[in-house]
Amino acid sequence: MSDLRDAGMSSKAWPFEEARKVLKRYEQSKDKKGFVLFETGYGPSGLPHIGTFGEVLRTTMIRRAFEVISDVPTRLICFSDDMDGMRKVPGNVPNQEMLKENAQRPLTSVPDPFGEFESFGHHNNAMLRRFLDTFGFEYEFYSATEFYKSGQFDEVLKRAVDKYDEVMAVMLKSLRDERAASYSIFLPIHPETGRVLYVPMKSVNRDDYTITFDDEEGREWTLPVTGGNVKLQWKPDFGARWAALDVDFEMYGKDHSTNTPIYDRICEILGGKKPEHFTYELFLDSSGQKISKSSGNGLTIDEWLTYASTESLSYFMYQKPKTAKRMHFDVIPRAMDEYHQQLRAYAKQDVTQRANNPVFHIHGADVPASDMVVPFTMLLNLASVAGAEDKDQLWGYIKRYAPEALAETHPQLDAAAGYAVRYYNDFVKPEKTFRAPTEQERAAMTDLMAAFGSADLALAEIAKKNAADGLDEALPDADFTDGDFLQTVVFAVGKNHEFDNLRDWFKALYEVLLGQSEGPRFGSFAALYGVNETIDLIAKGLAGELA
């Protein structure tokens, strides 16, 4: 463990870099509370999207790194701002008219449009917790509604009254004149309509911790700021929450970054110490637009898990958090294969290398071995040429390629075969477009068929290529079950037919035989699919039976 701790203290992996900042903050704290508190915030204005999950995952990675370099206990709070008024009706949920009728009411007071939970806020909170539980996160869930109504926020709300002018001064600097004229950090909950009111204060009363205001109809009300009668505007709420909970770390998206000085200053005014922050870049949909809960664009967690493993999603989230990521279905295959590449690398690495490996930050010290003897992208192409409707069809080829592999002993591979079939049928199959070969391509494919059918012809192609390259090398053994040998044959045939760029040769194989512009390492694919089957596939492509 000491070796790993030493590696963590010098690792350039971003979770360790952030963990060291949190440790330094804790060590410099005068009043240590005996644990480090990590927090993530969630606005349940719509169904949780994958970016919300990513925030908890990445915070967990930093928490795990912290636990490597320190013995200080940790906690993680997932805080839901479910007392926020519903300002916009999400377009991806039912009962739109009912939701519109409940506009501006706290999310936990809006009826659940799905009819399953106590409120819309409770529904969205349950969805978030289900997603987080799927991934085995250790966290404590806090509801803003419960936090305000139970009195846990009362002391910081009273401080906000005492320091009202100071907090307002911070906020007013950030607002346009028109907005500043009616702004207040306090948002009263109307006693009759239950709506969150955005109205100016007539007075903020320090003697009894109440606020006085006129509602939208001009009627005057006085309410205590405590007990859930009032909530804070979202920017002051950030800083107040940090002060109330004594938060040590919180990350948020780039769209919050300009508000960081506001959050920090309000936290300090209300008696807290600003936490460490980490700002990540936003997730984008297929067209480059920011993922939004209200519009429901971008991938959902359930959608990713239909086509790939939870670990592949964690791997995707780990990569370059300060770089904007386009989250569409086409990123899944690469994430699956790269995750397993890192698993295989981990087994051979020393402790320093392991501390920098993404799979350590996904799994902690308990990193599993990969049983993926066939890459995911290869499974996709196998599903494509086989027209697979279920994973059992793929297993017929897998067992011939890797006789030792069984579904029972290779659960990752078995799950991946099922993912590949679903991914192929939903995304690859509808987009497949075959074409006929050019004359040059036809001649090359004809020779490839012959070479795949004869050891002598295969070796002759390699010898011809070597001679043209001026190489005096011994010819390899002709093994038609070996993907490397078959790839050498494919490469030699393309070289002998003098393609201007060998990429054009491989692209032709993909477009004529697979109906797509990109594809697998063709020799490895032929070894998996079977050489005779590949010969038949080429014959069909040349006969126009695929196009």
Provide the domain limits for residue 425. Answer: 301-430
Q: Which of 45-54, 150-159, 274-283, 439-448 has the lowest mean pLDDT?
A: 45-54
Do 145 and 3 fall into the same domain?
yes
Q: Is the dihedral of CA 530, 535, 538, 539 positive or negative?
A: negative
Q: How far is CA 216 from the centre of its chain?
A: 42
**464 and 386 in a common domain:** no
Q: Does residue 48 surpass a pLDDT of 70?
A: no
Among 146-150, 291-295, 441-445, 500-504, the range scoring the smallest mean pLDDT is 291-295
pLDDT over 70 for what percent of the chain? Answer: 97
pTM of the model: 0.89
First and final C-alpha spacing in the chain: 59
Q: Is 308 found in the same domain as 426?
A: yes
pLDDT at 156: 98
Q: Give the chain's mean pLDDT.
A: 93
| Long-range Cβ contacts of 172-176 (<8 Å, 24+ apart) | 174/235, 174/259, 174/262
Residue 242 lies in a domain: no
Residue 105 sits in the same domain as residue 195: no
pLDDT band at 287 (very low <50, low <70, confident <90, very high): low
Q: Which CATH number covers residue 102?
A: 3.40.50.620
Same domain, 375 and 410: yes
- Same domain for 527 and 421, yes or no, is no
Query: How many distinct structural domains can be found in the chain?
Result: 4
DSSP structural state of residue 322: T
Question: Would 278 be classed as within a structural domain?
Answer: no
Is 295 a member of any domain? Answer: no
If asked whether residues 388 and 414 sit together in one domain, one would say yes
User: With 80 as the cut, is the pLDDT of residue 1 above it?
Assistant: no
Task: Please name which of 526, 530, 489, 522 lies closest in space to residue 497, comparing C-alpha atoms.
Answer: 489
Give residue 324's pLDDT: 84
Q: ∠488-347-405 over CA atoms, to 5°?
A: 60
Is 86's pLDDT higher than 70? yes
User: Is residue 320 a known part of a binding site?
Assistant: no
Per-residue model confidence (pLDDT) at position 327: 78
What is the average per-residue pLDDT within 249-273? Answer: 95
In a domain, 284, yes or no: no
Structure tokens given for 494: 């393309």
- In this predicted structure, what is the pLDDT of residue 91? 83
- The CATH number linked to 179 is 2.30.30
Residues 539 and 407 in one domain: no
- 369 and 494 part of one domain: no
Residue 52 has pLDDT above 90, yes or no: no
